[in-house]
Structure 1
Amino acid sequence: MSTNSADQLKSLAAQVSALTRLSAANPKWLLVDVYIDIASSKTGSSRKEFTRMLQDCKSRDIEIILSKSISRFGRDTVEILDALNQLKVLGVRVIFEQEVLDTADTDNDLMISIIEAIAQAENESRSDNIKWGIKQRAAQGTSKLYNRKCYGYKNDAEGKLVIDEKEAKNVRLIFNMYLQGKSVLGIVSELGQLGIKSPTGKDKWSKRTVDVMLSNEKYSGNVRLLDDGKHDVLYLAEDNNPAIISKETFQAVQIEKQHRSNVTKSEDGNERKSKKYSSKK
């Protein structure tokens, strides 16, 4: 279990009850013990009961193990396969109720294939759940990404974005220089001559840093999430934070960037223009 919440504890109790009834239904079986490991975000998973179970198997106190499912048997594929190999050597039979698998009747190679397939499916499901959670927080406006700071901003005591005026004046300078005709490399050179340190404290700004800043809509007060080409939903939070530049200025820079681009799209794909943009230095 991942937490010891009331719902999960009820689920655990139901699982133990079901497995107890299953063992009681077979007159040849005698219930020896119940092994339960409960993990929480604070304590992690020490797996003390799992270790005790293996030790009891080595002491020949157990001949059969009943488990709710393969995923509940171990923390990961490696641990599960290692434990099953140990138990096989000890002659201990393992029955997985959910998958209807019995190691006594299942070829070892097939068992390994089944476990790996289940692990892969669970990893994919976990990944989908994480993506779903990100989308939900974005849609509800509760994502921390809305208030992630960047150059020109800082977080106040409540975690909200506020303008860092010392850095904000440099942001305005960069946008203005671009609209005045300077290229990104020209801006990098100018910043160096003015002795303005980069966001990481270096004497020279990188071309990419300036280019990314000129495309950062957050400076106009808006924030877009999930705009990476991999998601089918895009969330726009207008006036999410105080603006360093006007929306008109930001839009003008995006139009200018498109105009200066030396790549134009055609029906067949991307084709380079024959002449590159020449800017003021």
Structure 2
Amino acid sequence: MEKKINYIPAVLSLNQKKVGIYCRVSTNSTEQWNSLSNQISHLVRIVSTVPQWLLVDAYIDIASSKTGSLRKEFNRLLEDCKSNKIDIVITKNISRFGRDTVEVLNAFNQLKAIGVRVIFEQEDLDTNNTDADLMISIIESIAQAENEERSDNIRWGIKQRAAQGTSKLYDRKCYGYKHDKDGKLVIDEQKAENIKLIFDLYLSGQSVIGIIKELEKRRILSPTRKEKWCKRTIDVMLSNENILEMSGF
């Protein structure tokens, strides 16, 4: 005999507020999955400590931090708030709520207009306890500080790699060179012959257009593996003193 299961939904008392938690990570890495798990469990614990709150849904995005990438769950959260399914939104911090200041402020203003309370747990910011203009100012200040810190970290990293000799910034491959097994730039003998030919033609009085015609006649491919050479490419080669070494001049 088949068992009958009757689902009895939770009854919302008059003073209870419907809470939605929002979590986001930007990649599918194990580290990010652990971060997501920690975010969810932490926010669920916070909601469970307040008797007047009822957790009705969790909105979880695993999406790129790049502007333009889809955040389906975030959009669903906004729609549920507009439909009065959510009274309070709680999220870990401002950076999880939006990918940039513009997006955070846009969402914040939408929720503020429909009377939905927003709590940023890490920054200890609550729209119920903070004036709207002050809240916006705080969000902008925090976002700016995070951007400055990120920029400083990137610059520091570039300097460190350059000092240690591990940066590829000044070791990028160009036409006529290749990386050896140790990752160092060395002359590519086959392409070096092409460069010598270009200089020979130039010194013999050929114009740039004439050089291009000769290269195409000999079926020598351009640096981008195309049959048609670009005039700008030849100009750069002829003005690049570093190429003189492989040209024999």
- TM tier, smaller: 0.5 to 0.7
CA–CA distance in structure 1, aligned partners of residues 140 and 40 of structure 2: 26
Change beyond 3 A, Cα 1:30–1:126: same
Gap change, CA 1:168 and 1:127, over 3 Å in 2:
farther
The aligned counterpart of 2:132 is 108
Give 1:90 shift: 1.1
Q: Does 1:15 align with 2:43?
A: no
Q: How far does residue 50 in structure 1 lie from its aligned partner after superposition?
A: 0.4
User: Of 202, 214, 231, which residue of structure 2 is paired with 1:201?
Assistant: 231
Report the equivalent of 2:246: 244
Give the distance between the partners of 2:38 and 2:95, measured in 1 at CA.
17
Instruction: Find out whether 1:146 has 2:171 as its counterpart.
Output: yes
Distance 2:159 2:238 in 1: 27
Matches within 5 A, 1:24-173: 24-40=48-64, 45-135=69-159, 138=162, 139=164, 141=166, 143=168, 145-150=170-175, 153=176, 155=178, 162-163=188-189, 164=191, 165-168=193-196, 170=198
TM-score if structure 1 supplies the norm length?
Answer: 0.59
Greater than 6 Å deviation, 4+ residue runs: 156-160
Once the two structures are TM-superposed, the CA of residue 109 in structure 1 deviates from its matched residue by 1.7
Change (3 A) 1:130 1:202: closer
1:266-281 → structure 2 map (5 Å cutoff): none
Q: Is the 2:43–2:90 contact (alpha carbons within 8 Å) kept by the matching residues of 1?
A: yes
- Consecutive unaligned residues of structure 2, counting only runs of 5 or more, are 1-24, 213-228
When the two chains are superposed, the root-mean-square deviation of aligned CA atoms in Å is 3.6
TM-score by length of 2: 0.66
Q: What is the CA–CA distance in structure 2 between the aligned matches of 1:76 and 1:48, rounded to whole Å?
A: 17
Q: Secondary structure of 1:33's match?
A: strand
Q: Deviations over 1:125-165 (max 9, x none)?
A: 33234334444554354626514204xx1558999651422
Q: State the AA in 2 paired with 1:168.
A: K
Kept in 2: contact 1:94–1:102 (CA 8 A):
yes
| Distance in 1 (alpha carbons) for counterparts of 2:128 and 2:174 | 57
Stretches of structure 1 lacking an aligned partner (at least 5 in a row): 174-189, 221-242, 250-281
The whole-number CA distance in structure 2 between the counterparts of 1:115 and 1:203 is: 47
Using the alignment, how far apart are the partners of 1:107 and 1:118 within structure 2? Answer: 16
CA contact (8 A) 1:192 1:204 kept: no
Work out the percentage of aligned pairs sharing the same amino acid: 51
CA distance 1:33–1:202, shift in 2 (3 Å): closer
User: Which residues in structure 2 correspond to 1:226-241 (within 5 Å)?
Assistant: none
Instruction: Verify the 8 A CA contact 1:195 1:203 in the aligned structure 2.
Output: no
**2:206 is aligned with what amino acid?**
L
Cα 1:60/1:200, change in 2 over 3 Å: same
Residue 179 of structure 1 corresponds to none
Partner in structure 2 of residue 231 of structure 1: none
Q: Aligned in 2, Cα 1:141/1:204: closer, same or farther, shift over 3 Å?
A: closer
Relative to structure 1, the CA distance from residue 209 to residue 76 in structure 2 (aligned partners, 3 Å threshold; closer, same or farther) is farther
The structure, 1 or 2, with the larger RCO (C-alpha pairs under 8 Å, 6+ apart) is 2
Q: Cα distance 1:45–1:204, how it changes in 2: closer, same or farther (>3 A)?
A: closer
CA distance 1:24–1:205, change in 2 (3 Å) = closer
